[in-house]
Structure 1
Amino acid sequence: MSANNTQAAKLVLDIRAELGEGPIWDARTNALLWVDIEGRRVCRFDPAANGGRGENREWPVGSMPGTVAPTERGDLLVALNEGVARFDMADGRVEMLCAPDGFDPSVTRFNDGKCDPRGRFVAGTTSLQGKRGASALYVVEATGANGSAPVMRQILGGVSISNGLAWSADGRSFYYIDTPTREVAVFDYDLDRGELGARRVAFRVPDALGYPDGMTIDAEGMLWVCLWGGAAVTRWNPANGELLAKHEVPALHVTSCAFGGPDLATLYITTARVDTAADVLAKYPQRGGIFSLQPGVRGGRAFEFSG
């Protein structure tokens, strides 16, 4: 295993989020969508506003949002504590759409999620009590000609902390992180049916680096994995498990990342303030902020929910 330490991430928004997560670039507004799970807010950061100093807007949603995704009709899909909802930034209205059968939001909440290349929303859950194997991964897809009746179905069970996910360029491989396993798994993915096939391990994140959390993929097919407890974001070759680069982030808990900017050449990184031991707090005064770096490679446009 080798790594080229090329640059450290720089702070672009000193927001001090309790649990910043779910970044995704909205090409329609040229802004970064993200959530503060513990702060119960959906946010939009425009890095070009205020003469390049950036501007962040936030909307309280009254529940813990795990992630957001843009939709084809212009609003957002939000994975909340109780299930998946539509969210309208124009008026702040939240409209619940669906939840798993028998879902108990006092025990489990939704966490990370993204849309697949066909416009399905894929999102997983995590136990609020830290129970292993009690969570799952779900698919939400529209039914009917106008997509007015979204339905949810489980595609993977026995999950502990559902986190990072990404698809290969052809959409036939699905990369997935269940954080406590420290593995980045790859599944065969049926694009026509939105179902998982055979599973194998692409690579394992060594204990010394921290826990794998959020993830994205770049235009060269390499995976960017954020490290909870590792103060870094890393780039890996999923074909052979080689660690290609490690970029330091001045926050202990690095949660997720997404490529953005007009040319998708900037990597935006979310972080958290929670679960930081008292003896290391002073070392990371910018924790909870949003950071960025220019890694020299571009990402791809985020997929939208079709329905």
Structure 2
Amino acid sequence: MPSKLYIQGRLSIVAQAEVLLHTKAVLGEGPSWDEKNGLLIWVDIEGKVLHTYKPDSGEVTAKTLSQRIGAAVPRASGGVVLAMQDGFYAYDPTGDELTFLGNPAGRKEETRFNDGKCDAAGRFWAGTMSLHGKPEQGALYCLEKDLTIRTVIENVSCSNGLAWSPDNRTMYYIDSPTKKVMAYDYDLATGELSNGRTAIDVTIEGAVPDGMTCDAEGMIWVALWGGYGIYRWNPVTGELLLKVDVAANQSSSCCFGGDELTDLYITSARVGIAEADLAEQPHAGALCVYRSQVKGLPTYAFGG
């Protein structure tokens, strides 16, 4: 049963995620739910591995590719679309075929793609970051269904979580070092952003916001890298509603899946953790799950 705990001076609920798969990912990231195939997709960025998990059968696959993979989303026409180190690719797992789709014009050198997600219209949003930790080298891009690529936000240090409100009128975005979740007015018909403002200031010591998702009630669930968990906030009031404890300090991202969209799948990482410290958190890099009483929003497929 969830317990109560004061976090940042506020009374909040604390729940516990369970370890689902001991994957020991170097940098687990980017989970997405393929509703059509009942399949969870996620990546190990540094391991260059595309993972899948089928809850109904317990079947697990791991495919090592040629580049770092920042994010993977299902494609409406079949297969997946990947944001890789050198650009956007389509991947057909049945034929083990990787097809280059494009790379943003003007993209800075020595960067790689990081997190990404599709909006309800089928556009694929994904951003970049420096390979060497340099600030403001990245950007947020949008891969349109006609395969053109737009640069939307520049001078980003570590492009990360994306989410949309249930009515698709608000987009949430994280540039991790800012320790903020930004909100933008969103036009689903055009994919245009406006009126950027801070929705959440993350003031938890030692933690930065990473990946995120939104639920059917309009609340956002944010993975805190360095925070041992997922935090559920009201993005309108700023109220912290829930912490889901995860047995890995570097919780990296989350998405809802399962038949009822009530299973919150959580990725984590072990990159940068000394061997001695890994003995204290043996589940670092695992795939975890929290059985929520709140229904999530679906993962949208790329429509191109």
Q: Same fold (TM over 0.5)?
A: yes
Aligned with 1:95 (options 78, 99, 106): 99
> Which ranges of structure 2 fall in alignment gaps of 5 or more residues?
1-7
8 A Cα contact 2:108 2:138, kept in partner: no
Pair 1:197 & 2:201 matched: no
Aligned with 1:126 (options 126, 129, 149): 129
Distance in structure 2 (CA, Å) of the matches to 1:158 and 1:207:
25
> How far apart are 1:282 and its partner, in Å?
1.6
Aligned partner of residue 16 in structure 2, secondary structure: coil
Aligned partner of residue 197 in structure 2, secondary structure: strand
Distance in structure 2 (CA, Å) of the matches to 1:191 and 1:48:
33
8 A Cα contact 2:212 2:221, kept in partner: yes
Distance in structure 1 (CA, Å) of the matches to 2:231 and 2:206:
10
Alignment of 1:233-272 (within 5 A): 233-272=230-269
> How far apart are 1:280 and its partner, in Å?
2.6
Counting aligned pairs with the same residue, the percent is 44
8 A Cα contact 1:3 1:246, kept in partner: no
Distance in structure 2 (CA, Å) of the matches to 1:3 and 1:123:
35
Partner of 1:146: none
Distance in structure 1 (CA, Å) of the matches to 2:116 and 2:181:
15
Pair 1:297 & 2:294 matched: yes
Q: How many residues align?
A: 296
8 A Cα contact 2:181 2:200, kept in partner: yes
Pair 1:136 & 2:132 matched: no
Please tell me the residue identity of whatever aligns with 1:282.
Answer: A
Distance in structure 2 (CA, Å) of the matches to 1:293 and 1:178:
25
> How far apart are 1:5 and its partner, in Å?
3.4
> How far apart are 1:243 and its partner, in Å?
0.7
Aligned partner of residue 279 in structure 2, secondary structure: helix
Partner of 2:117: 114
Please tell me the residue identity of whatever aligns with 1:238.
Answer: P
Please tell me the residue identity of whatever aligns with 2:145.
Answer: A
Partner of 1:153: 150
> How far apart are 1:279 and its partner, in Å?
4.7
8 A Cα contact 2:185 2:196, kept in partner: yes
Higher strand share: 2
Aligned with 1:74 (options 78, 82, 85): 78
> How far apart are 1:104 and its partner, in Å?
5.3
Please tell me the residue identity of whatever aligns with 1:63.
Answer: Q
Partner of 1:42: 50
Calculate the aligned-residue CA RMSD, in Å.
1.3
8 A Cα contact 1:16 1:286, kept in partner: yes
8 A Cα contact 1:121 1:139, kept in partner: yes
Pair 1:62 & 2:40 matched: no
> How far apart are 1:195 and its partner, in Å?
1.7
In the superposition, the TM-score normalised over structure 2's length comes to: 0.94
Distance in structure 2 (CA, Å) of the matches to 1:104 and 1:178:
17
> How far apart are 1:48 and its partner, in Å?
2.4
Please tell me the residue identity of whatever aligns with 1:138.
Answer: Y
The alpha-carbon distance between structure 1 residues 209 and 235, as it changes in their structure 2 partners (threshold 3 A), is farther
The superposition leaves residues 251-307 of structure 1 with CA deviations (integer Å, 9 ceiling, x where unpaired) of: 110000010111111101000010224453222101111001112101122111111
Distance in structure 1 (CA, Å) of the matches to 2:41 and 2:20:
14
Distance in structure 1 (CA, Å) of the matches to 2:35 and 2:275:
39
In the superposition, the TM-score normalised over structure 1's length comes to: 0.93
Aligned with 1:230 (options 218, 227, 231): 227
> How far apart are 1:176 and its partner, in Å?
0.5
8 A Cα contact 2:15 2:242, kept in partner: no
> Which ranges of structure 1 fall in alignment gaps of 5 or more residues?
144-149
